[in-house]
Amino acid sequence: MDVRSDQAADPIYNGADRIRHRFPIFERRVYINSCSQGALSDSVRAAYDAYLRDWDEKGAPWEYWTERGEAARAAFARLVNADADEIAVTTSLSAGVSALASGLRFARRSKVVLTDWEFPTIGQIWHAQESRGARVVHVPEADDGTIPLEHFERTIDDDTLLVSITHVCYRNGAMLDVEKVVKLAHERGALVLLDAFQSIGTLPIDVRELGVDFLGAGVLKYLLGSAGLGFLYCRRDLVEKVWPTATGWFADKNIFEMDHTDYSPAPTASRFQSGTPPIPSIYAGIAGIELMQEIGVAETREHVLDLNSRLIDGLDELKARVVTPRKPKRRGALICIRSTDSRALVAALAREGIVTSERDGNLRISAHAYNSVEDVDAVLASLRRHRKLLAS
pLDDT of residue 15: 62
- Between CA 240 and CA 259 the distance in angstroms is 20
Averaged confidence pLDDT in the chain: 94
Residue range 372-385, pLDDT digits in tens: 999 999 999 999 99
Compute the average pLDDT of residues 352-370. Answer: 97
- Between CA 48 and CA 125 the distance in angstroms is 31
More confident residue, 10 or 142: 142
Residue range 3-44, pLDDT digits in tens: 333 333 333 335 678 899 999 999 999 999 999 999 999 999
Compute the average pLDDT of residues 263-274. Answer: 96
In this prediction the pTM is 0.94
Instruction: Specify which residues 87 forms β-bridges with.
Output: 233
Instruction: Work out the pLDDT band at 392, boundaries 50, 70, 90.
Output: confident
Residue range 309-329, pLDDT digits in tens: 999 999 999 999 999 999 999
User: To which CATH superfamily is domain 20-31+296-389 assigned?
Assistant: Aspartate Aminotransferase, domain 1 (3.90.1150.10)
Residue ranges, comma separated, of all CATH 3.40.640.10 domains in the chain are: 46-293
Residue 215 has pLDDT above 60, yes or no: yes
pLDDT of residue 145: 85
Instruction: Specify which residues 137 forms β-bridges with.
Output: 113
Tell me the CB-side half-sphere exposure of residue 251, using CA atoms within 13 A.
Answer: 28
pLDDT of residue 2: 36
In the chain, how long is the greatest CA-to-CA distance? 69
Residue range 110-130, pLDDT digits in tens: 999 999 999 999 999 999 999
Other Cβ atoms within 10 Å of 371 Cβ, number: 30
CATH class, range 46-293: alpha beta
Residue 248 has pLDDT above 60, yes or no: yes
Residue range 52-111, pLDDT digits in tens: 999 999 999 888 999 999 999 999 999 999 999 999 999 999 999 999 999 999 999 999
Pairing of strands 111-115, 160-166: parallel
pLDDT of residue 17: 85
Residue ranges, comma separated, of all CATH 3.90.1150.10 domains in the chain are: 20-31+296-389
pLDDT of residue 255: 86
Helices 62-80 and 279-295, axial angle in degrees (round to 10): 30
pLDDT of residue 242: 97
Which own/partner contact pairs does 275-279 have at CB distance under 8 Å and 24+ positions apart? 275/248, 275/249, 275/250, 276/248, 276/249, 276/250, 277/65, 277/66, 277/69, 277/89, 277/91, 277/250, 278/91, 278/228, 278/229, 279/51, 279/65, 279/68, 279/69
Angle at 182 between CA 172 and CA 81, to 5 degrees: 90
